[in-house]
Amino acid sequence: MTTTLDDILESFEFLDDWEDRYKYLIDLGKELAPLTDEERSEDHKVRGCVSQVWLITSIEKNTDGVPVLIFRGDSDALIVQGLVAIVTAIFNGKTAAGILNIDVEAIFKKLGLQEHLTPQRSNGLRSMVGRIRADAEAALAAA
């Protein structure tokens, strides 16, 4: 079962202690499907993350021929793996144009991530979002 953004928001609302939220983040990361050794390549590595993060983007067309992006990811750090799970839950299955219209900062603010992550993790989170937005822009340009 895939965890949705609504599930994550609901869980974060329910868990008022950040230690419990970090445990939940780690659990979210453990739910990610593992990447193969071939997928953990330099081509898929997200630049700007202190931990190693890999992001795989697949593009499908919906019934209207509009590009829809599917993301899979992984990290070598448990909490970052949880952040990958949140980012993929936000953007997975959305159209390229829809991805570019998501106010991800508002979502992060609602989750309280910015004030509870180290600056390095916050930068890595921004790098993941930047990579996803770049992939969406490329999909739009190619459509």
* Residues marked as catalytic: 49
Rounded distance, CA 102 to CA 94, Å?
A: 10
Residue 24 vs residues 4, 60, 127: alpha-carbon distances, Å: 14, 31, 22
Rounded distance, CA 67 to CA 127, Å?
A: 22
CB 122 within 8 A of CB 79: no
How many distinct helices (H) and strands (E) make up the chain?
6, 3
What are the φ/ψ torsions at residue 135 (nearest 5 degrees)? -65, -40
